[in-house]
Every structure is written in C-alpha cells, then in structure tokens.
Structure 1
Amino acid sequence: MTVDAVGGVWRYAMDLAAAMRGSGVETLIVGLGPQPSAEQRREAKSIGRLEWLSTPLDWMVEDESELDRVPQLLSELALRHSVDLLHLNLPSQAARITAEVPVVTVSHSCVATWFAAVRGSGLPEAWRWQKRLNRLGFDRADLVLAPSRSHAAALTRTYGEIHDLAVVYNASRNACFVSARENFVFAAGRWWDEGKNGAVLDRAAADIDWPVVMAGACEGPNGQHLAIMHADHEGELSHDRTMTLMSRAAIVVSPSVYEPFGLVALEAARAGAALVLADIETYRELWQGAALFADPGDPAAFAEAVNRLTEDAKLRADLGRRARLRSADFTVEAQRDAVLAAYRRVMSGSDRLTAAE
C-alpha cells in the first residue's frame, strides 16, 4: 500500500492497514515523497513493514519525467515481496505498472478536480500531463475507489467514464469525546493549500465572538504561503495533539472549497463538536442535518454561522449530538470490510462488490 507523509492519506493508510491486520492481511507500506517524521516511522513499523522510495509525488513535480521510475520501482517491490495485490493511493502510480497482480487505486484527491473546484477552470497547459497520467492509472487499475459519491461524480465529470468506479467512505478511529467543552473555535488543515480556504476563515475570525485556533502548516512544499492575521495559529501539530485540541473545542470549522471526503469534519464529529462547514457538495452529502453550512466565499457568512452557535448552547449541544451519531456511519471496521470486499472482488475476477458502495 502506497502512502505519503504529507496529508490525510497517511492517516487513512495507517488506520486501514491496522484494521486489516486483524483480518489476516499483511501490509507492506511503501512511502513516496517527503520523508516521514520519526513518529510516523514508528507508527508505520508497528503496523507493517515500511519501505520509503526516493521518488516524488505527482503533485509535487513540474515534469512527468520525474515520475518515470515509479512504476518500475513499485512493480519490482511487488515481485520481490510476492504481494497478492497493489493498493495505490495515487491513481498516477497505477499507470504503466507491469507487475501481473491486481491493482486497486484510490483517488483521495487530484489536481484536475482541485482546479475545477478551487479555480473553476481546467488544468494549465503545463500540468495537463497529470490528468493524462491519472487516466492511464484508472485504465490500468482493476478497481478505482473514491471516498464519497461527490468525489466520484467529480472524477466522472473531469475524466469521463471510469470503468469499475466504486465508493468506500473514509473512516476515523478518533474517540476523544469530552462532554465538557471549552469556548473556542478550532480548525485544522494544510492552510497553504488554497482548497482548504484558510484565508476566508482567518478573515472571519476577526468577527467571531470566541477565539479561533487554526492548526496546520502555512508553508507549502512548493513555496505556497498563507499569512494568518486574526486567528491564533498553532502551526503543524502531531495527530495526537490535534485530536486533543479538537476534543476540547466546542465548535469545529472547515471552510474548505475542495474536500473529496473531509477527514477533519469526521474526527470532530466523533469528538462531539458542533460543526460549521463550507456549503459544498461533499459536506452536504455527509453532514446534511448534522451541521451548519456557510458560503465558503463569504467570511461574514462563516462568522455569522459560528456566532449563532456561540450564542446558543442548546443548538451547539444538539448539533454536536447529531454529528456524533452521524459519525457512527463511518467506522474503520466498515471501511475495512468494504476494502476487503474490493480486494476479494479483484482477486477473484468477480464483478460484484458487496461491502463497498
């Protein structure tokens, strides 16, 4: 199973691999991109075997040729370790795979759908190779998984029909429920990513009644930067520290304009926080009736929605309860069962997927 140490794929892979180990699945964890932290290495090695390749991630390079070694290295690893299946967490990694083993690829996000959602445009000419490479990966894969119906629809709009595209919702192990919560607003994300929409939340923070704490990196790997002026910036935190802050906050906000799933919202819901979310298709799909929604392009709308909750303890408690109940639909066990069903399907050649949607 491929991973990277930069974003949410790490948490997805660790939780899934740990859950599948209890079902007799041994996972060789193969990292690409920036090196993991010592803490991440320890976690991965406690779950499975870990190998890190000196190759980049597709969205971190300017030229396709920088990825030329990826299919060869992954194919060689598959043969050397006699793996039964490749689970690739970037569709481009499936392109040109020569190993004769089943391939399941997951589109957690992609540059082409990011541009459509964030910039309202197609890819710039210099980046169009990424879309073509993803298309090759979709075509090579025996099964393509998306983490929500909304993202599956976005993929179809962007790439056209994708053979054997299925939905398996993401999950969270977070269980940091605290009944007594503190009067502050929390948000977490890679704030250098325009899709996380941190600038809008920072502007809204100037008009929000409670302190707003934004955790996460503001400096991106390719020089991206967000200056936070009004919120309290905690910087990049460990997952455990992030969960601790989240469990204390009475309100958790996600202003993202691009979220194929939105793990932060799920983790906050499991912690029992009241949610204020960007009014985007994914969040409506997953959290309709269990959160307040605000226009992601309007800081005043976000401030108004958050202040509605700061002023109404009963509504906060009710939304926190509803979000926690909804979060029970997205367990690691359900995700594991769906992914294992996907594995069985491609390894048997069956056209039926029983546990994944």
Structure 2
Amino acid sequence: MTRKTVRIAMNGVTGRMGYRQHLVRSILALREQGGLDLGDGTVLWPDPVLVGRSAHKLRPLAERHGLEHWSTDLDAVLADDSVDIYFDAQVTAAREEAVQKAVAAGKHVYCEKPTATSFGGALELARLADAAGVKHGVVQDKLFLPGLLKLRRLVEGGFFGRILTVRGEFGYWVFEGDWQQAQRPSWNYRAEDGGGIAADMFPHWEYVLHELFGPVRTVQARVTTHIPRRWDENGKPYEATADDAAYGIFELEGGIVAQINSSWAVRVHRDELVEFQVDGTEGSAVAGLRGCRVQHRSATPKPVWNPDVPVAESFRDQWQEVPDNADFDNGFKTQWELFLRHVVRDEPWRWDLMAGARGVQLAELGARSSAEGRRLDVPELRR
C-alpha cells in the first residue's frame, strides 16, 4: 500500500458543525480507519491544519486530538505550498473573503453553505474558482442521510409513478436564552452577521429538491421573526434582526409542487426533526433523517370522514418501513470521501460552488418574495 498525504486547512473547526461533523466525524474518522482506500493500492491520508481566530480555542482542540498543526494566520496557511485543500465552516459573513483568498492561492476549495451572504457573491466565487482551475465543492449533507438515500431509491425505482407533491416540515424550539440556554449560536438571529433561517435552510431545500425531484422554477415565501428578543451566550439580551421562520411554496420543473416549512419557533410533533412526504399516483413516502415509510397504491386504505365518532384506526400503522439494505456511514464523511476522490483521482463531482450559488439564489428570492408578497421565477444559472 502506498500512502498519499493530503493536507487540508480547516477553518472554523471551533464551531459546533465544523468540529463535530467535519473534523471529528469525517476527517479524524477517516484517520481512525487507516485513511481512505482508493482501491488501486493507494491510501489517502488526510492531514488537517486547524485554522481560526482564537489561539486559546485552537491549541487545546489540537492537543485533545493529537494534531500538530494549527494557526491563527490564514494568509500564512494559504501561502504554504504543502496545503492542498481549503475547507471553510466559519460564520457565513466571513466565508466569501476567505474562499476568495484560497482560490487566489490556488487551493482546492470545499465549504459549508451558504457560500456567501448574497447571490452575487456566491456566483462570483463559482466563476472565480472555475477561472482558477481549482476543484471546488459545497457541503450538501442531507443528500447522504439514510432517509433521503432510501427516498432516492424509491424515486429512481419508479415507486411513485407521477410525483404530484412534496411536503416538508423542519424545525424545533430554540430556547430564547433567558432562562434556558439556546441550542443555536446568537449570530444565527442577527442579519448583519449572516443569520436567518431562510438563508440557512433554503439552500438545503434547493439541493434536496433539485437532486431528487427537479430544478426549482418558482418560489413564493413568507419569512418572519416570531421571537424578536433573545439572549446571547453571555446572557445579554439582544434584538433578533434575522428571520426565525420561513414558509415556502416551490414549483419544480415538470409541475411538482413542494411546500416546506422551516422554523426555530415550533415544538416537535413528528418522528424526526425533518420529514418529507412525497405523494404520487402510484404511492407515497415519508422520509426523515434515517427512516422512510411507504404506502403503495394497492395498499392504500379508504379513510372515512366522520367527526361524530372517535378515530378507531392508527393511520401511522398503515405504512410500511423501507429496509436499510445497506450500511449507511455518516453523511458528512461520505461526501468528504467523494470530494477527496475528486481532488486526487478527478472522479465525477457535481456539488460545486455553482450548486452552492443556486442555494443562495433561492434564499435571496425567497426573502424578496416575502417582502414583495408575490411569486417569483427562479432563473436558470449559466456558468
């Protein structure tokens, strides 16, 4: 076996997502399994260089995991010719400038979404990366969740017949932070810092809809701030300037209608924190993060509307669980493996910065639709 080292500058790993999903459950997990076997006698060994603004956070994090390299000087890291890939999981407002620097330094780029705070900025990043000839990718983790992998299996197998509608519910109650600590960082609720649930979640819904059902062609949305006052990590009250709920109706190419509600001000009464119900002429499915249940046309019951008597049947029991039929790895890790193969072996890859720009475009159009109170067309992007 030949071991090939790939050095990855990882910016933003002191944050929740950057640390848990990208550093620990993806890059360090790959090291724990002995590297990424490319299948040709070569094992890819990821060597992370931790980057951030705070030395007192980076140093103990590196020591905890036995990592030698960390820095608070992004420019110096990008100037290092031994660094192959730049990864960004910073707050959204800091991402665009950092990715521009990485592209200018000739680094391959992999980053979280949204890729920028504006559609114009996101589109420019994609075009700059193309012009520089670097490989680039955007995290689209929900495509690799077990529940959505099962849903994709159903779509590609023709289970639904003609798909009519998609209905999505996402969210949970995020505590205000006064008497119980909030589960999300305060910047999420400040528009000036790139916060807002539409900016956060509409890019997710764009790629889920685009990949599984078809491109989004129109959007009509209502975004709002249900909880206007919150408390930050230091217990200091602040005014929420970003939206905490977004309700969207999306028409897809081919006529499928999708409705997706996103809220950080809703209490959960569903099996998983996100669920998608897909209804078609031949069958329906409800997919979450891990599970997926189906009801075929031939086994669809005939409910009778009668509000005068108690319901005597369990509607949930009338659905059949889709079996795993495979071992599902962490979705973030799976996409990291694909991106590393793309960089080293030039294997196929389609989740690039242009795909990231589509997500930012949809979020921006959703906010504009809400402000103007009308449905808007979603133009097709050209490179």
TM, length-normalised to structure 1: 0.41
Q: Which has the higher helix share?
A: 1
TM, length-normalised to structure 2: 0.38
Larger radius of gyration: 2
Q: Which has the higher strand share?
A: 2
Which one has more relative contact order, counting CA pairs under 8 Å at least 6 apart? 2
